[in-house]
Each structure stands twice: as C-alpha cells, then as structure tokens.
Structure 1
Amino acid sequence: MNATFTRRRVPAVLAAVALAVSFGALAPQASADDGGAPFGPGCASVPEQGAGSFAGMAEDPVATAASNNPALSTLAAAVEKAGLVDTLDNAEDITVFAPTNDAFAKIPKADLDKVLADKATLTEILTYHVVDEPVEKADLADGSFETLQGDMLTTTGSGDTYKVNDTASVVCGDVQTSNATVHIIDTVLMPK
C-alpha cells in the first residue's frame, strides 16, 4: 500500500468514525472541506451502529461490508451469486461504485431475474462497477477510470454532487472499508 493512500485513508476512516460517534448518524451532509469524510444525501441512511455503519464498514473488506449494510443487500446477493465475494474481499486499494437496492429496483424484475440467473453477464456488470485503484472525492470531478470488466467509466461533478457516466448519482461517497473506497450510487451501471 503506498504511503500517500495510507495518509489519505486513515484520516477518512477516523473522520467517519468520529462523525458516526459524535452525531449518531450523518443526517447533515458532510461538506466538501471534510477531507475524505463520507458525503452526500444518502449518508443519512447508513446505520448509526453495528457492522453496516461507517465504523463497522471500515473494519471489513468491501464485499463483507456491503453485506452488512441494509441499503446494499441486493448488491451483496448479486456479488455472492456471481462468486465474486473472495475476489473483492481479497483485493487491495480498489474502488467500488455500489448500487443501492433502489438502483436495482429500477431494473424491470424480469430483466433483473434474467441477469441474476446468467453468471457471465452478472459478473460483467458487477466488475464494471469496480476500479483497481483508489478513487476518492477529489478524483470524481473529471475522472475516467478503467474498470475490472475492461471498459471505462467517467465521473463528473463538484462540491458534494457527482455523476458516474452521466446517469448515476453518487448518493454517499468516500465510504471506507478495510480494502476499498466505496461510492454508493443510485443507478446500476451497464457496460457498453
């Protein structure tokens, strides 16, 4: 792990823990000056305590952390169905653009069931949400990143408002797990 990333990650994790403990939840949005603290309107729905809280997620690798967060249960089930739990939990310094349950609910049920039943397609879609490098808030303003699936995804925005591929909004960004930065998004991304 490089020293620059470690210096950025430790304050982010500590800030997330301090905010969760101090306020009980992140009901007000963290500001752009919080230096790596989780940000966005969806952060208020992260549990205050336990394994799915910011503090709990910081202790677990990303697939395990997602499985403990109630807003990411559909993603966690899809990752398990695709056989990607160990791959994601054993990776280092990755970024996951994690669709919420509501993001998956936007997909018609018949289409979602079909994708969930097709491991190859499911794996392709899920790995399109993963970047093999840390992508933090500062990188989201005008970014282009190669995904594990092989295609590129782009990010744009400023302040606390960011888009991925001009379709998904980051609803809670810069959430840290023990091995990843997670940006929770409101739409499932589809590779080309």
Structure 2
Amino acid sequence: MTSTRPARGALISAAVALVAVLSGCSSDDGGGTAAASSATATSAPSTAPSTDPVGAGCAQLPADALAALATQPVGSALPGVPLLSTLATAVGAANLTSALDAQSGITVFAPVDAAFGAVPADQTNALLADLPRLTSVLQHHVVSGRLSPDQVVGDHTTLLGDTVTVTGSADAPVVSADQTLLGAADATVVCGNVQTANATLYLVDQVLAPQA
C-alpha cells in the first residue's frame, strides 16, 4: 500500500507558500493605494480666492487704510477710503449707510472722487437733491455676493434689480460706456478686490447708471 503522507505534506507546504504570496500582494497593493492617495492629497491645488487688492491705483490706498477697512462694514468704512469721499457723502445723503452695513456678502462698484468730478456740477447737485434717483443710482452699484477678480466678469444682478455687465478680464475688468452716467467712456477698475468686513470693493473711474 502506497503512503499518502509525503503528498499531503507537499500540498500543505504549497498552500502555505500560496498564502504567503497572496499576503505579500495584498500588502503591496495597500501601500500603493496609500501612496497614490498621499500623492493626490499633496498635489491637490488650493482653491482659496485671493484677498489681495489688484490694480495700478491700489498704490493710492495706504496699507494701514486697507487693514482698517477689512474690520469695518462697507457703509461705515467708506469715509475712511481716501478716493471715495464723494461716494461716502452720497451714501450718507441717501441714508444708506446702515443698510449697506447690514448686508451680508456684497460687491460694490465704487466710483472714485474723480468719477464724480467728471460729472458736470449741476448734474451732480441735481442727483444729490433727488433722493429717490440717488438711491437707485447707488443701489445699481451693489451686487449680491463677494466677487473675486476671477468672478467679476459677467452679468450681475444689482440691489436695484437690474443688471450690470462686466467684460474684459480678471486683471482688467470693464463696464461699457453705455452703462455709465455720462456715456462717454468705459468704466475701468482703479483698484479692485478691496476687502471690508462684509463687502468686496471695485473702485471704478466712472459713475454707473441704472438701466432705463
């Protein structure tokens, strides 16, 4: 009678070897997956928007003024911006300071003093004296959401309920002349992406006009 012990022993040895090989493969695959996950996590790009101001005119805004702006809501912050004293006066005249301060996450296209200065004095005085019209003009400069430079180009609904269309690029946004109060020149950004506690400002060199 032939003994089966050697064959059985060989089978057991083969099984043990197979288990060892499979265990090694499983370990290798796990390491590869972990390494791939680690590589993916490491190479994932950051999507946090920049909060740095952009534009040649930003040099006219002192660093300490920018730091102070970031701690204040926009209505209260406007008087502290050297280029926006006329806008601050207009907002105060329209009793919109508290309303702007109460907004949560807005973008303001803020005409600089030179933009108001380009409007004939009689037109400016008439605008400041006409409270309903002044309120409409100011609301047309405000849109919902804090727009980064990468988001500012496009069509945006204003607080007045109409639309302001921004063309150009993230580095050089433009509002066409037909959307301005004078209608003579495009509105370009003097300094953009300026942060207050509740708003992002784009300082523009023309006063915008609501749609007729």
Structure 2 residue corresponding to 1:83, chosen from 85, 95, 99: 95
Structure 2 residue corresponding to 1:153, chosen from 144, 164, 180: 164
Note the residue ranges of structure 2 that are not aligned, 5 or more in a row. Answer: 1-46, 178-185
Matched-pair contact (CA < 8 Å) for 1:36–1:137:
no
Q: How far does residue 156 in structure 1 lie from its aligned partner after superposition?
A: 1.4
- For 1:138, the equivalent position in structure 2 comes to 150
Q: How far does residue 159 in structure 1 lie from its aligned partner after superposition?
A: 4.8
- For 1:39, the equivalent position in structure 2 comes to 54
The within-5 A match list for 1:20-31 is: none
Q: How far does residue 47 in structure 1 lie from its aligned partner after superposition?
A: 2.1
- For 2:104, the equivalent position in structure 1 comes to 92
Q: How far does residue 113 in structure 1 lie from its aligned partner after superposition?
A: 0.2
Which whole-Å CA distance do the structure 2 matches of 1:133 and 1:164 have between them?
A: 18
Structure 2 residue corresponding to 1:162, chosen from 160, 173, 182: 173
Superposition RMSD on alpha carbons, in Å? Answer: 1.4
Q: How far does residue 172 in structure 1 lie from its aligned partner after superposition?
A: 0.5
Task: For 1:83, give the aligned amino acid.
Answer: N
- For 1:171, the equivalent position in structure 2 comes to 190
Note the residue ranges of structure 1 that are not aligned, 5 or more in a row. Answer: 1-6, 13-34
Q: How far does residue 112 in structure 1 lie from its aligned partner after superposition?
A: 0.3
Deviation sequence 1:2-38 (CA, Å, 0-9, x none)? xxxxx84xxx7xxxxxxxxxxxxxxxxxxxxxx3310
Task: For 2:157, give the aligned amino acid.
Answer: E
Task: For 1:109, give the aligned amino acid.
Answer: A
Deviation sequence 1:82-131 (CA, Å, 0-9, x none)? 01000001110011000000010011000000000010000000000000
Which whole-Å CA distance do the structure 2 matches of 1:185 and 1:75 have between them?
A: 11
Q: How far does residue 154 in structure 1 lie from its aligned partner after superposition?
A: 0.8
- For 1:48, the equivalent position in structure 2 comes to 63
Which whole-Å CA distance do the structure 2 matches of 1:45 and 1:83 have between them?
A: 28
- Overall identity of the aligned pairs, in %: 43
- For 2:209, the equivalent position in structure 1 comes to 190
Matched-pair contact (CA < 8 Å) for 2:111–2:205:
yes
- Secondary structure, aligned partner of 1:169: strand
Matched-pair contact (CA < 8 Å) for 1:153–1:165:
no
Task: For 1:96, give the aligned amino acid.
Answer: V
- Secondary structure, aligned partner of 1:137: coil
Q: How far does residue 60 in structure 1 lie from its aligned partner after superposition?
A: 0.5
Number of equivalent positions: 157
Matched-pair contact (CA < 8 Å) for 2:188–2:204:
yes
Task: For 1:175, give the aligned amino acid.
Answer: V
- For 2:14, the equivalent position in structure 1 comes to none
- Secondary structure, aligned partner of 2:159: coil
Task: For 1:61, give the aligned amino acid.
Answer: P
Which structure would you say has the larger Rg? 2
Structure 2 residue corresponding to 1:101, chosen from 106, 110, 113: 113
